Amino acid sequence: MSQLVTDTAPPAATQPGRPDNGGRQRLVEVVVPVHNEEHVLEASVRRLYAYLTETFPYPFRVTIADNASTDSTWHVAEELMAELPRVRAVRLDRKGRGRALRHVWSGSDADVVAYMDVDLSTDLNAFLPLVAPLISGHSDLAIGSRLSRGSAVVRGPKREIISRCYNLLLRTTLAARFSDAQCGFKAARTEIVQALLPSVEDEEWFFDTELLLLAERNGLRIHEVPVDWVDDPDSRVDVLHTALDDLKGMARVGRRMLTGAFRAPVGGRQRPKLPNGMARQLPSFAIVGVISTLAQLLLYVLLRTVTGPFAANALSLVITAIGNTAANRRFTFGVTGTQGAFRQQIEGGVAFLLGLTLSTGGLALLHAVAPGSSRVVELAALICANGVATLVRFLLMRAWVFHPRRVEARQTRQAHHVQPNSMQADFTQPNTTQPNMTGGQNR
């Protein structure tokens, strides 16, 4: 059972040096989730607290959310809470960043809730631009983005490639419109996030992504802030394990989108309508795409043990491209029967060649820029290239291979091919009901 330590911060209205904007002031709660962070927790919280006290124009509360630490992290959190008046601490007996955020956010009485990673890799000067649109009501959620124009990011090529590939995959398979799902610098209006939380299933690293996808699915507005970000060299995140969990999470969310179950009881803004049929086609295409990508990666790993990276990539793409076209033909675009199937496979081969070009070029570029890259980085580069190819493949299939007018025209031609034959049979068949024309003509 989770243990909640009583908050010792004074009521928001009594905090000195804060303007009263006509009645109750806006309270912002900043959550810092931690797990075995005894070495950095004190310095980071003091730095954050000093920044908020000196420059932040709204009442605030800092909550340390310790999720099942086994070192002295909890002891440090207790000492900080005892010393700093607007710091509290929460201790959970189970690990998981998403679990910690869910626990604090679901019971918060603040107007805006936020969180940031304990290493404070993101420049704190971006915090006020992050929460200001939420306090004004302009936006519902806000995220720091390391991938938008104006951001300044310092990190190694491995994490850069993986991050960009992951976000590209989200956009191409699940139609995400936000640019950076993984930056540990996010905020939301409390009433909005509390309405979304019951529909968010993940309790760990995919929690952020699922929350953002759910918000977009419900028509909520997500504000993005370019950030300055410096990679923490002491990061202990298991990149491969996290990437696999993220792919599983994407597949689960895709299934929920396909069945219409990815909803939350919250009113969002009206969004422009998609072109006719696309709202149904996108989730189905996303599911097929995720399955095809996983199958291609599995085949690539297996083939890579007996051949080089380029041959393994080509063979795995050939096999999965055939299955991908057939599945999209049946489930995404609703085309059944064998008529035109061969031609559509040939046309789908054009998209395959594009994917082969992009992924082969991506591998060549990777090995040129970073010779001797690990298999994990190779896979990340493949995911990135295949994400671009997936988007182009969908556009080609919708606008060319399975365009509704082409399908309808083919069906019309089929009908015309049948009808003239039957009419010809009727006219050429002897008329046994007419009298013999040689014996006279009826007038």
CATH code of 244's domain: 3.90.550.10
Same-domain pairing of 226 and 105: yes
Distant-in-sequence contacts of 216-220, Cβ < 8 A, 24+ apart: 216/176, 216/177, 216/178, 217/257, 217/262, 217/263, 218/263, 218/264, 218/266, 218/268, 219/268, 219/269, 219/270, 219/271, 220/140, 220/141, 220/192, 220/266, 220/268, 220/269
- Residue 318's Cα: distance from chain center in Å? 27
Same-domain pairing of 181 and 229: yes
Domain annotation covers residue 435: no
Domain annotation covers residue 341: yes
Exposed, middle or buried: residue 330 (CB in 10 Å: 0-12, 13-18, 19+)?
A: middle
| 3-state SS assignment for residue 144 | strand
Exposed, middle or buried: residue 170 (CB in 10 Å: 0-12, 13-18, 19+)?
A: buried
What would the pLDDT profile of 290-321 be if each residue is shown by its tens digit? 888 788 888 988 998 888 888 888 888 788 88
Percent of the chain surpassing pLDDT 90? 42
Is 90 exceeded by the pLDDT of residue 437? no
What would the pLDDT profile of 14-62 be if each residue is shown by its tens digit? 343 343 444 457 899 999 999 999 999 999 999 999 999 999 999 999 9
Question: For this structure, is 232 an active site residue?
Answer: no
Considering the candidates 180, 208, 228, 246, report the single residue annotated as catalytic. Answer: 208
Same-domain pairing of 242 and 290: no
Domain annotation covers residue 443: no
Residue 33 Cα distances to 51, 204, 267, angstroms: 18, 11, 29
Same-domain pairing of 236 and 283: no
Could you tell me if 355 and 321 are in contact, meaning their C-beta atoms sit under 8 angstroms apart? Answer: yes
Residue 433 Cα distances to 423, 424, 430, angstroms: 18, 18, 9
Same-domain pairing of 160 and 229: yes
Boundary (domain end) residue, out of 259, 292, 318: 259
Same-domain pairing of 215 and 312: no
Could you tell me if 352 and 318 are in contact, meaning their C-beta atoms sit under 8 angstroms apart? Answer: yes
Same-domain pairing of 249 and 286: no
Boundary (domain end) residue, out of 231, 259, 287: 259
Is 70 exceeded by the pLDDT of residue 374? yes
Is 60 exceeded by the pLDDT of residue 398? yes
Domain annotation covers residue 222: yes
Residue 250 Cα distances to 240, 298, 428, angstroms: 15, 17, 62
pLDDT at 428 (0 to 100): 41
Q: How many domains does the chain have?
A: 2
Structural domain of 125: 27-259
Same-domain pairing of 48 and 175: yes
Q: How does residue 424 score in pLDDT terms, banded at 50, 70 and 90? A: very low
Same-domain pairing of 352 and 204: no
Domain annotation covers residue 323: yes
Is 70 exceeded by the pLDDT of residue 378? yes
Is 70 exceeded by the pLDDT of residue 425? no
pLDDT at 12 (0 to 100): 41
Tokens of 357: 């070009």
Domain annotation covers residue 170: yes
Same-domain pairing of 255 and 345: no
Could you tell me if 381 and 363 are in contact, meaning their C-beta atoms sit under 8 angstroms apart? Answer: yes
Question: What mean pLDDT is reported for the chain?
Answer: 81
Same-domain pairing of 343 and 228: no
What would the pLDDT profile of 233-286 be if each residue is shown by its tens digit? 666 666 677 778 888 999 999 999 988 889 998 866 655 555 666 767 878 888
pLDDT at 274 (0 to 100): 57
Residue given tokens 């631009």 in the structure block: 129
Rg (CA), the chain: 29
Residue with the bigger pLDDT between 207 and 271: it is 207
pLDDT at 407 (0 to 100): 61
Tokens of 29: 């709660």
Domain annotation covers residue 179: yes
Within 278-403, residue ranges assigned H as helices are 278-304, 309-327, 341-369, 375-396
Domain annotation covers residue 255: yes
By DSSP bridging, strand 3-4 and strand 87-92 are antiparallel
The whole-model pTM stands at 0.62
Same-domain pairing of 82 and 42: yes
